[in-house]
Structure 1
Amino acid sequence: MTRTGLALVTGGSSGIGLELARCFAEDGHRLIIVAQDRDKLDRAAAELRAAGAPHVDAWSIDLGAPDGGARLFHETEKFAGLPDFLCLNAGTGAWGDFVGQSDLYLELQSIAVNITSVVQSAKLFLPAMVARGSGRVLITSSVVALGPSPRLAVYSGTKAFLRNFAEAVRDEIADSGVTITALMPDLTESGFFERAKVDPESLTASEPKADPATVARAGYAAMLKGKDHIIAPALTGKVKAAAARLLPDALVTKFARAD
């Protein structure tokens, strides 16, 4: 693994994705950042160039489209080549009780972006990385993957899928020179809560949230070391992880319900 190379970050225009991209920029890597909002992408690209990235491409791709992951791969292959670092970070969700409250369109988008695009992207990028014999992959899951989260039922389900998917494929390609790390953030300050239409009066909305730069730096370091997963921030995230392991599922669900 070379010290510098090409890094591809989805969801790279804001939040954890932008901070992951900043880590790469500060280490002098070339960057591709992917999101939908053109204005946010352009602003993020300017920040990353100022942070030290020698070259930044900003691509507007709808990863929720049926061919989103395939388009990401083919455009990368055509215009930039195979990345050394692949951060599948883009994610979205929907808030509310599944029966009678939450938005089905947002839930289906969550499945499309959080699961379908990640599987599609990994299916296309990983064989080429394995054939090359090197690469670091980071998949953003969440601490909510560790137990059911009422009012975020679909979102927490997608994050549980990502954690299991990352761990399983990591084992399948062990000793290939390619590693997969699952990043599992606790609640983090980002645009997620607005996009998911989280009730501003809920406990979830009022709970203290982590700095995305802190979460990103932890994920970046773990990915470089080839770790299987990282919970960040360590203090709050690991407390929740320990509780999820030790308490009965029904009690975990009760505590997770954000009224």
Structure 2
Amino acid sequence: MDTQKSKTALITGASSGIGQELAKLFAKDGYNLVLVARSTDKLNELGGRFWDEFGVETTVITKDLSEEDAARDVYNQVREKNLTVDVLVNDAGVGLHGLFATDTDWEKEKALIHLNVLTTTQMTKLFLKDMVARNEGKILNLASLVSIMPMPLMAVYGATKAYVNNFTQSLVNELKNTNVTITALLPNATDTDFFNKAGAAHTKVTENLDDPAVVAKDAYNALMKGAHKVIPGGFSNKSQEIMAYVTPQEALAGMMRKNMEPKDETLSEEKNNKAAWAWGISLGAVVLAGAALALLYNTSSTYDKARYRHKAGKLKSDADEVYDDVKDTLINGLNNVREAVVTAKQVVAKAKETLAEAWS
């Protein structure tokens, strides 16, 4: 156990999923906990378990954070208990699946916006002010990888996560002269109860979900380092960020919509398609990263060039891994890979265009 016994982490949405995994990591490092969610019994059960395993104290606050001024009530309860929140984790959030114009319910969307946007903003506002006054503290805001992409069939959810990401990166700049850090967590689709609650358990995206424990570990490490953002998982997830920045929005929206459509009977074909798209995107990302690295190398000092040569070696290793996986995919379905190659070519073309603008 680490020597963090005097510190406290407040985690919303702590009863399950990523929030629960993060609570476990904080408890393991000796942080006392303030756990916020709607399920009192579940939070009390977690508190008892963390006391038995790690000897940390847990304060439970039962609250529906989609309610008006819910964040203010949580803040006041914390103040009344004379607790100092050293780390705030805004993990609570919900989604809603369906066509915005005809399928989804406004009251549910209003509650979604309140929880994902208003409560996250107000919680940050209240606790950040105290952190800045102490010149110490950390905040983790749950955005999503879809915060940088269009999100058909979950349009309102995607928009709220875009807000969270933009809001967080703006505060990164505002806090740069303080000892307070704020981090945006951008996970890919994760194996939690999120899709079930959002009415999206039947969609194709649920065929390939990340482990919430892995997501939480990457998020925790980034938060402790004071990173501005973190995309958990392997190279494929990180390559999707590059893809989002260089792929035309209409094409990107089409790809995302396919992920959110219902599963069909051609499951094996869909899996091959998904693998093909992933590796095609990865190849494009490798090319883009290599081109960007070449640009930096040509405009850098001798010292920096040495560092970039090291990065180039790592990039070559990543490219070799992608190439090996592409060979496997080719064996399983050449037709699917052709589509991926087209996407990769589009990414490379956009990269060339971006680099040409940079040189001019």
Separation in structure 2 between the aligned mates of residue 105 and residue 235 of structure 1, nearest angstrom: 38
SS at match of 1:9: strand
Aligned to 2:343: none
2:133 to 123, 131, 134: 131
Separation in structure 2 between the aligned mates of residue 146 and residue 105 of structure 1, nearest angstrom: 26
SS at match of 1:33: strand
1:76 deviation in Å?
Answer: 1.1
Aligned to 1:216: 216
Separation in structure 2 between the aligned mates of residue 94 and residue 83 of structure 1, nearest angstrom: 31
Deviation track 1:22-68 (CA, whole Å, cap 9, x = no partner) reads 00000011001100022222222233223415101121111111111
1:199 deviation in Å?
Answer: 4.7
Separation in structure 2 between the aligned mates of residue 152 and residue 167 of structure 1, nearest angstrom: 23
The code of the aligned residue for 2:204 comes to: L
Pairing 1:244–2:232 present: no
Q: Name the structure, 1 or 2, with higher relative contact order (CA <8 Å, separation 6+).
A: 1
1:18 to 17, 20, 39: 20
Deviation track 1:172-230 (CA, whole Å, cap 9, x = no partner) reads 12121100000111110111111111151x2123x211111100011111000000000
User: Greater shift after overlay, 158-167 or 79-88?
Assistant: 79-88
What runs of 5+ residues in structure 2 fail to find an aligned partner? 262-360
What runs of 5+ residues in structure 1 fail to find an aligned partner? none
Separation in structure 1 between the aligned mates of residue 55 and residue 36 of structure 2, nearest angstrom: 15
Separation in structure 1 between the aligned mates of residue 55 and residue 240 of structure 2, nearest angstrom: 36
Pairing 1:203–2:204 present: yes
Aligned to 2:71: 69
Fraction of identical pairs, as percent: 34
SS at match of 1:13: coil
1:236 deviation in Å?
Answer: 3.4
TM-score (normalised: structure 2): 0.69
Aligned to 1:34: 36
The code of the aligned residue for 2:205 comes to: T
Q: Are the aligned partners of 1:180 and 1:228 in contact in 2 as well (CA < 8 Å)? A: yes
TM-score (normalised: structure 1): 0.95
Aligned to 2:180: 178
The code of the aligned residue for 1:233 comes to: G
Aligned to 1:227: 227
Choose 1 or 2 for highest CA Rg. Answer: 2
Deviation track 1:80-123 (CA, whole Å, cap 9, x = no partner) reads 42211110110011111111112222211110111000111111
Higher helix proportion: 2
Q: Are the aligned partners of 2:132 and 2:180 in contact in 1 as well (CA < 8 Å)? A: yes
Deviation track 1:120-149 (CA, whole Å, cap 9, x = no partner) reads 111111111101010011001000101111
Aligned to 2:149: 147
Higher strand proportion: 1
User: Greater shift after overlay, 234-243 or 54-63?
Assistant: 234-243
From the superposition, tell whether residues 145 and 26 of structure 1 become closer, same or farther in structure 2 (CA, over 3 Å).
same
Pairing 1:91–2:93 present: yes
Matches within 5 A, 1:97-108: 97-108=99-110
Separation in structure 2 between the aligned mates of residue 36 and residue 111 of structure 1, nearest angstrom: 17
The number of equivalent residue pairs is 256
Aligned to 1:79: 81
From the superposition, tell whether residues 131 and 239 of structure 1 become closer, same or farther in structure 2 (CA, over 3 Å).
same
Pairing 1:111–2:113 present: yes
Separation in structure 2 between the aligned mates of residue 189 and residue 236 of structure 1, nearest angstrom: 17
Separation in structure 2 between the aligned mates of residue 133 and residue 112 of structure 1, nearest angstrom: 29
The code of the aligned residue for 1:210 comes to: D
User: Greater shift after overlay, 217-226 or 96-105?
Assistant: 96-105
User: Greater shift after overlay, 246-255 or 75-84?
Assistant: 75-84
The code of the aligned residue for 2:199 comes to: K
1:45 to 44, 47, 60: 47
Q: Are the aligned partners of 2:50 and 2:56 in contact in 1 as well (CA < 8 Å)? A: no
Alignment RMSD (CA, Å): 1.4
Separation in structure 1 between the aligned mates of residue 108 and residue 205 of structure 2, nearest angstrom: 18
Q: Are the aligned partners of 2:141 and 2:185 in contact in 1 as well (CA < 8 Å)? A: yes
SS at match of 2:93: coil
Separation in structure 2 between the aligned mates of residue 197 and residue 44 of structure 1, nearest angstrom: 27
